[in-house]
Structure 1
Amino acid sequence: MENFYEVNGIELCAETYGDPADPAVLLIHGATASMLWWDSRLCSALAARGRFVIRYDQRDTGRSTSFPVGEPGYAMNDLAADAVGLLDALGIEKAHVVAQSMSGGTALILGVDHPSRVASLTFVSTSTGDEGLPPPSPDMPRLGTPDFNDPAAVEEYVVRSIEAEAAGHFDETSARTLVRQDMARAKNYEGSLTNHFAMTFDGPRNGDFGDLTMPVLVMHGDADPLLPLPHGEAVRDAVPGARLVVLPGMGHGLSAPYWDSFVHEVGR
């Protein structure tokens, strides 16, 4: 069941799976994505491994607080503070943090600036952002910007975006169902697709990847067209003792054929 929590002057919507007495796993999805992008079946499977799983809508996604389109007025450090505030609201001292794509930056801030709250970090399909890393595949289509006054056009735009990032693992029916559910829940879907890219991209105040002291797992698909595999290798190389798991054939998103591997590796 979804619940609302007052955190840092905003409201976050979150949902939990499993026994609160089990080790906590906090799932943070990437830019524009609500908690629904962590599929409920995946969350249940991880909970069945004896984990207390938390998924939530970040600011400007789903049922959490939304901000004016193009004027979010917050920074990545605020997203990290939200994660800490959510753990506080749930009475959780420390969590295993799993971050997807852009939210790897949020996880980095958590690990460097709030290490006492982080048991481990898992970076999924993310990057250090270093210069010299390869750009997105030239085969990725240029989709432009949808007409936000036309819900059908917006739906099609997001479905096609999922397809472009999925490599060979695209399920049209599942993608369209997800997007429709996401649009129906969002307070302002245009803000959801816009504001995470308009925020201030600051970083940790007390160090960088090399200063992480907790166990770090990196999971990356070798067919990721948005952040090719060298991005994941760069994360591994930047963190002392980090372990990289390469998922053969996976694109940018954590598609269903890789859920078992994800549950196994995070469960470890």
Structure 2
Amino acid sequence: MTDPTTDQVKQVTVGDVKIAYECFGDRADPPLLLVMGLATQMLGWDERFCARLADHGFHVIRFDNRDVGLSTHLADAGVPDLGALVSGDPTAAPPPYTLLDMARDVDGLLDALGLDSAHVVGASMGGMIAQQLAIGHAHRVRSLTSIMSTTSRDVGAARPEAMAALFLPPPTDADTAAERALDVYRVIGSPGYPLDEVRLAEVARRAFARGHDAAGVARQFAAIVVSPDRTPGLRALDVPTLVIHGEDDPLVQVDGGRATADAVPGARLVVVAGMGHNLPEPLWAQLVDEIVAHARAAEETREGVSPPTR
């Protein structure tokens, strides 16, 4: 593998928000867009993971969703009443956006980058966003890879200890951000693989410095809560779809992955033993191989486009 080569982080305006993004690899290669999950900045896609994908002949793009990192934080929208939204209280004020709006951000990002379409890979909430993008904007999605995600918050629901980990007190500085990340991933991480605590703490400190915002995370969570079941839309998809899920995921249990694969016609499901709700480095070779093979096969079916061979 070559050393990671990245552009400096840039921003584009999409509607009322600015989206920060970063690219890896050759712009002449087929684009592969990585969508990260709840409360997680683009840093959740490790630079070395991105570089591996780029080494296989893809132009890799990672970005910060709205309300995290260097993208726009909707501070004026306030903090949603998550308890009322989760309970379905009809008097609860609606959140400022849903997963549909976050999918529109992705659609707008593709426009801003001059891309008619991309291979789209989403993890956790990012998988939900990627699914919604494929449902609403199928022409933008050359292939869909949904990792550790689900069709609905009610399918593959979190175990109590995993949900409790998400609601630990927010950090107050870089060191408590590192401690909190370790506390969370000791619960939701992959039991079959060692947790790289040094790397995890380093990334958590970087993320805190880039833009910590507990209210923004609450708004993202609210977007998940109020978004409807995507199963009907997924059943109508004609997009090559790969679903990857950890067999031991306590946050989005494996039923979420199975439901996603069952919903999409022709989807392929890969259940990974020992994998929880993270992307441990010992699994990168398998995950990259799966993503690359899936995207290459989709490229082969596109008229007049040859698949990458690297």
Is the 1:2–1:15 contact (alpha carbons within 8 Å) kept by the matching residues of 2?
A: yes
The number of residues matched between the two structures is 266
Q: Comparing 199-208 with 241-250, which one deviates more in the overlay?
A: 199-208
Is the 2:123–2:148 contact (alpha carbons within 8 Å) kept by the matching residues of 1?
A: yes
Q: Comparing 17-26 with 226-235, which one deviates more in the overlay?
A: 226-235
C-alpha RMSD of the superposition = 2.2
**% identical equivalent positions:** 37
Q: Which residue of 1 aligns with 2:222?
A: 198
2:61 to 36, 47, 54: 54
Alpha-carbon spacing, 1:160–1:94, altered in 2? closer, same or farther (3 Å): same
Alpha-carbon spacing, 1:204–1:107, altered in 2? closer, same or farther (3 Å): farther
Alignment of 1:152-171 (within 5 A): 152-168=175-191, 169=193, 170-171=195-196
Q: Whole-Å Cα distance in 2 between the matches of residues 217 and 205 of structure 1?
A: 16
- The Cα of 1:59 is off from its aligned counterpart by 0.4
- The Cα of 1:147 is off from its aligned counterpart by 5.1
Q: Deviations over 1:210-245 (max 9, x none)?
A: 011010000011111112222211111111100011
2:235 to 185, 198, 210: 210
Q: Which residue of 2 aligns with 1:18?
A: 25
Q: Which has the higher contact order (CA 8 A, sep 6+)?
A: 1
Alpha-carbon spacing, 1:13–1:231, altered in 2? closer, same or farther (3 Å): same
Alpha-carbon spacing, 1:85–1:172, altered in 2? closer, same or farther (3 Å): same
Alpha-carbon spacing, 1:135–1:94, altered in 2? closer, same or farther (3 Å): closer
- Segments of 5+ residues of structure 1 without an aligned counterpart are none
Matched, 1:136 2:158: yes
Alpha-carbon spacing, 1:77–1:135, altered in 2? closer, same or farther (3 Å): closer
- The Cα of 1:86 is off from its aligned counterpart by 0.7
Q: What SS does structure 2 have at the residue aligned with 1:26?
A: strand
Q: Whole-Å Cα distance in 2 between the matches of residues 102 and 62 of structure 1?
A: 16
- Segments of 5+ residues of structure 2 without an aligned counterpart are 1-7, 81-94, 294-310
Is the 2:146–2:244 contact (alpha carbons within 8 Å) kept by the matching residues of 1?
A: yes
Q: Which amino acid in structure 2 is aligned with residue 196 of structure 1?
A: Q
Q: Which amino acid in structure 1 is aligned with residue 258 of structure 2?
A: E
Q: Which amino acid in structure 2 is aligned with residue 142 of structure 1?
A: A
Q: What SS does structure 1 have at the residue aligned with 2:164?
A: coil
Q: Whole-Å Cα distance in 2 between the matches of residues 128 and 112 of structure 1?
A: 12
Alpha-carbon spacing, 1:204–1:165, altered in 2? closer, same or farther (3 Å): closer
Q: Which amino acid in structure 2 is aligned with residue 106 of structure 1?
A: I
Q: Deviations over 1:160-215 (max 9, x none)?
A: 112211132312111111100100111x4323432211337335999511011010
Is the 1:33–1:192 contact (alpha carbons within 8 Å) kept by the matching residues of 2?
A: no
Alpha-carbon spacing, 1:209–1:19, altered in 2? closer, same or farther (3 Å): same
Alpha-carbon spacing, 1:15–1:141, altered in 2? closer, same or farther (3 Å): closer
TM-score, reference length from structure 1: 0.91
Matched, 1:108 2:115: no
Question: Which of structures 1 and 2 has the bigger CA Rg?
Answer: 2
Matched, 1:98 2:121: yes
Q: Which amino acid in structure 2 is aligned with residue 81 of structure 1?
A: R
Alpha-carbon spacing, 1:142–1:110, altered in 2? closer, same or farther (3 Å): closer
- The Cα of 1:149 is off from its aligned counterpart by 4.3
Is the 1:77–1:203 contact (alpha carbons within 8 Å) kept by the matching residues of 2?
A: no
Alignment of 1:5-44 (within 5 A): 5-44=12-51
- The Cα of 1:134 is off from its aligned counterpart by 4.8
Q: Which residue of 2 aligns with 1:178?
A: 203
Q: Which amino acid in structure 2 is aligned with residue 70 of structure 1?
A: V
